[in-house]
Structure 1
Amino acid sequence: MAAFNLTPSDPSTFILMGIPAAHVWISIPFSTLLGNFTVLFVVGKEQTLHKPMYLLLCMLALTDISTSTSVVPKALCIFWFNLRGIIVGGCFTQMFFLHTFSAMHSAVLVTMAFDRYIAICSPLRYATILTNSRIAKLGLVGLMRAVLCTLPLPLLLSRLPFCSNHIIPHTYCDHMAVAKVSCGDITDNRMYGLVIALVVIGSDLTLIALSYTLIIRAVLRISSKKAHQKALNTCTAHICVMLTSYTPFVFSSLTHRFGQGIAPHVQIIMANLYFLIPPMLNPIIYGVKTKELRDKVGKYTCRM
């Protein structure tokens, strides 16, 4: 209970303010974990699902779980026990894992777009191009990229002086939210954060757009309307997941840097939506849209 006595003047501690009406968020974390653990369990148990597409779903579920668990434990401490203090080292550690798993999440979405491109444009070569080992290697490359891009963030923050104000108006330690608390020059932090967002998210969105451009071109060459519908249906789940993931991220990133006229509580809520809503919706989207996975989940549910 010592956290109740913490004051913003404590030089080794930040104060996370959280969001109003916090009780609304309490049930969401458990929904995010349940759906993603279900995907991991079902794919792990079923040999017929040990395919590249479902391996990618497991990678997406793992990044969703990791992202949520980077935020949720501290958020629940704020909501349930009003424990708002977090030591500087803990804050920087949370920020590192948070941004690393977010970048990894984006890399998985790019790989999934490539998977859909191969499945539609080169279906006969799918099994030889996308093997499980190749998917695992692509995942490892995405993780290495995420770590290398995120590692400078806590190092840049450690160079900044923090004066009397240690109050962070968020439920977690975001890079720009922490930088704004500093009484020093945060130009380098702003520039690096913006460059990384443009390089990582910008390049990923470009690759995804290229994949879908090639997919659409291939689909338009098909004369059968039934084949059109089947091809597009294979991409529906991925498109929905991208919209739920990138939309709040882009909005949150832009408001951090250019949203001076937007109410603080709106910025905080949107930032929390990015880390809570996609992990909750992704397994539902793929469970509804992927018949094979839906049938296997139904089988295990009936057994239970």
Structure 2
Amino acid sequence: MQETPFCLRVGHLLPYSMSDSKKNNFTNPSTFILLGIPGLEAAHVWISIPFFTMYAIAILGNFTILFILKTEPSLHVSMSYFLCILAISNLVRSMSIVPKMLSIFWFNSREINFTACLTQMYFVHCFLVMESETLVAMALDRYVAICHPLRHSTILTNSVVAKIGLAVVLCGLMLIMPYPLLARQRPYCRTNIISELYCAHIAVVKLVCADTCVSSCYSLFVLFCVMVLDVIFIVVSYIQILRAISRLPTKDARLKTLGTCGSHRCASLAFYIPALFSSLMYWFGQNVAIYFHILIVNICLLLSPMLNPIIYGVRTRQIRDRLLWLFTHKGT
């Protein structure tokens, strides 16, 4: 059997054969089957415990952050507006993945409608991009606050912050829009079984029996934007921040100023390190046991939604004080 040429072979995107493409070709399957974690089906209930715990912390933590930001007037500043976008991104991403994941673990509910699968894929990837762009916006805020402290309020006015926030949201919405559009137009002739816990873009593209060059190249383009361009912008911002801090007269002043970036540094590491590891696993982890691959990728996906409210709750004094006030005055 002679295989047709293909323009890109990366990770799991394998060539298809022409004879196979003529068999069982259906443009839009009615449903996909999510296998969960193949090989560990007997342990699904036990595996669900850490995932449910991470989900509960993410939901409770991010809703608490949003409540505090809304009710505390001293937090109505540019950084807090970006933190709102970050918390909403974490909430939507978690709620897009985990309920279906838990239904697989607890009720063996593996079927997902074709349209629902593409919708889940869009929301997951869209809010991943949105979180990355929000971290870039926060890096810009820290740069202005430290390198131009006297002009911070005049540079980052409410109007400018609103425009940056709108750009962050539109970037996520528009950059990922080709994912479901391309996936809907492709013919599926191999199988409708996805060896995942959710409808990841690469997992869906694997089922396509037509040329996947455009989808693969665009996926790499999105990965480049998020994991390269955004990281470069954040790194350059911190280089300028460190240069400004090094010119401060005392060690205490330098440490105090650097401490104002602590939450953002931790949030950036909590997002980009798991995202990089997860991307490498998808593209180059074909020799890794599938159950280990799925476990690690999904844990990485839920880390930042769980850790971000903890990071900002512990390291931001106003949020920490407001949270303590809510607990101490609960009974009064």
Please report the TM-score for the alignment, with normalisation by the length of structure 1: 0.93
In structure 1, list runs of 5 or more residues that go unmatched. Answer: 1-8
SS in 2 for 1:27: helix
AA partner of residue 101 (structure 1): F
AA partner of residue 29 (structure 2): P
Aligned to 1:70: 96
* 1:189 and 2:207 matched: no
| Mapping of residues 150-229 of structure 1, within 5 Å | 150-229=176-255
- How far apart in 2 are the matches of 1:130 and 1:177? 41
- How far apart in 1 are the matches of 2:151 and 2:292? 47
Contact 2:34 2:197 in 1 (8 A): yes
SS in 1 for 2:252: helix
Contact 1:177 1:256 in 2 (8 A): no
Aligned to 2:311: 285
- How far apart in 1 are the matches of 2:273 and 2:156? 29
SS in 2 for 1:253: helix
Q: Deviations over 1:105-155 (max 9, x none)?
A: 111000100111111111111111122332221111111111221111112
Identity %: 44
Contact 2:86 2:131 in 1 (8 A): yes
* 1:135 and 2:161 matched: yes
- How far apart in 2 are the matches of 1:34 and 1:133? 30
Aligned to 1:16: 34
Aligned to 2:6: none
1:269 Cα shift?
A: 1.9
SS in 2 for 1:109: helix
AA partner of residue 15 (structure 1): I
* 1:60 and 2:86 matched: yes
Q: Which deviates more, 83-92 or 42-51?
A: 42-51
Q: Deviations over 1:49-92 (max 9, x none)?
A: 11112222111111110111111221121122110100111101
1:266 Cα shift?
A: 2.5
| Mapping of residues 105-124 of structure 1, within 5 Å | 105-124=131-150
Q: Which deviates more, 106-115 or 262-271?
A: 262-271
- How far apart in 1 are the matches of 2:220 and 2:239? 27
AA partner of residue 313 (structure 2): G
- How far apart in 1 are the matches of 2:29 and 2:317? 54
SS in 2 for 1:65: helix
Aligned partner of 2:116 among 77, 90, 97: 90
1:303 Cα shift?
A: 2.1
In the comparison of the two structures, how many residue pairs are matched? 296
Q: Deviations over 1:190-247 (max 9, x none)?
A: 1110011102332211110110010011111223100110111111111111111111
Q: Deviations over 1:94-115 (max 9, x none)?
A: 1111111111111100010011
Contact 1:107 1:139 in 2 (8 A): no
- How far apart in 1 are the matches of 2:112 and 2:177? 20
Over 3 Å off, 4+ runs: none
In structure 2, list runs of 5 or more residues that go unmatched. Answer: 1-25
- How far apart in 2 are the matches of 1:301 and 1:201? 39
- How far apart in 1 are the matches of 2:216 and 2:190? 21
Aligned partner of 2:321 among 289, 295, 304: 295
AA partner of residue 257 (structure 1): W
Contact 2:281 2:297 in 1 (8 A): no
- How far apart in 1 are the matches of 2:58 and 2:143? 28
- How far apart in 2 are the matches of 1:91 and 1:229? 48
SS in 1 for 2:196: coil
Contact 1:245 1:278 in 2 (8 A): yes
Q: Which deviates more, 276-285 or 158-167?
A: 158-167
- How far apart in 2 are the matches of 1:200 and 1:27? 28
1:36 Cα shift?
A: 0.4
AA partner of residue 32 (structure 2): F
Aligned to 2:57: 31
Q: Which has the larger radius of gyration?
A: 2
Aligned to 1:249: 275
- Cα RMSD of the aligned pairs, angstroms, is 1.7
- How far apart in 2 are the matches of 1:137 and 1:301? 36
